């Protein structure tokens, strides 16, 4: 997972990896966004705009960044309503591939998407991340992902990156 093979490490990999999960996430984001179609592909997704522009993405963060500007919902209740209208995949009771390493949510975080209990963790994670990037929220928000609490503040998800991975580019040595 160092990136030498051309595949970028993804903090959300334990939950979003696999062709069925990628397909579910693509379908979910297509329904939650305007003017784009998200398609799954091996090791990622393609975000296609109505203009014909297509953006291939490998990581979950890249996917959410590409989709966020097209989100339909502008409030958390609107997003929750859209999710309640979304059908769960027929195998939604299958366990997730792994657990995310998540820090404890901030005290006083506002719970969101609490009524959405029918969707599997990978789809709810995609919807929550989309909301975090597209819905302004002055206070921290938190959602339940089937036993794990994921929080966000200021448009950023609170994640714990695995050891050895950094959000900063590597420094150059001379």
Cα 142-146-151 angle, rounded to 5 deg: 15
Per-residue model confidence as pLDDT tens digits over 130-161: 999 999 988 899 888 877 788 888 777 776 44
Q: Which pLDDT does position 6 carry in this prediction?
A: 56
DSSP structure string for the chain: --STTSPPP-TTHHHH-SHHHHHHHHHHHHHHBSSEEEEEETTEEEEEETTS-EEEE-SHHHHHHHHHTTBS-SSHHHHHHHHHTSPPPTTTTSPPS-----PPPPTTPEE-STT--SS-HHHHHHHHHHHHHHS--SS-EEEESSS-EEEEETTEE---PPTT--SSPPPP--
Q: How confident is the model at residue 2 (pLDDT cuts 50, 70, 90)?
A: low
**pTM of the predicted protein model:** 0.80
Per-residue model confidence as pLDDT tens digits over 61-88: 999 999 999 999 999 999 999 999 998 8
Cα 95-101-103 angle, rounded to 5 deg: 125
Per-residue model confidence as pLDDT tens digits over 36-58: 999 999 989 999 999 999 999 99
Per-residue model confidence as pLDDT tens digits over 15-35: 888 899 999 999 999 999 999
């Amino acid at each position: 997972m160092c990136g030498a093979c051309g595949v970028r490490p993804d903090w959300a990999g334990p939950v979003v990896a696999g062709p069925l999960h990628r397909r579910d996430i693509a379908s979910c984001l297509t329904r939650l966004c305007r003017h784009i179609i998200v398609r799954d592909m091996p090791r990622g997704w393609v975000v296609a705009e109505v203009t014909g522009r297509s953006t291939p993405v490998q990581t979950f963060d890249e996917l959410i960044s590409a989709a966020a500007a097209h989100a339909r919902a502008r409030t958390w209740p609107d997003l929750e309503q859209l999710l309640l209208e979304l059908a769960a995949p027929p195998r939604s009771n299958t366990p997730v591939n792994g657990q995310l390493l998540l820090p404890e949510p901030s005290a006083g975080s506002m719970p969101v998407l609490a009524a959405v209990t029918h969707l599997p963790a990978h789809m709810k994670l995609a919807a929550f991340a989309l909301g975090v990037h597209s819905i302004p929220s002055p206070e921290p928000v938190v959602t339940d992902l089937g036993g794990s609490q994921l929080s966000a503040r200021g448009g950023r998800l609170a994640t714990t990156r695995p050891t050895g991975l950094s959000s900063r580019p590597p420094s150059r040595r001379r």
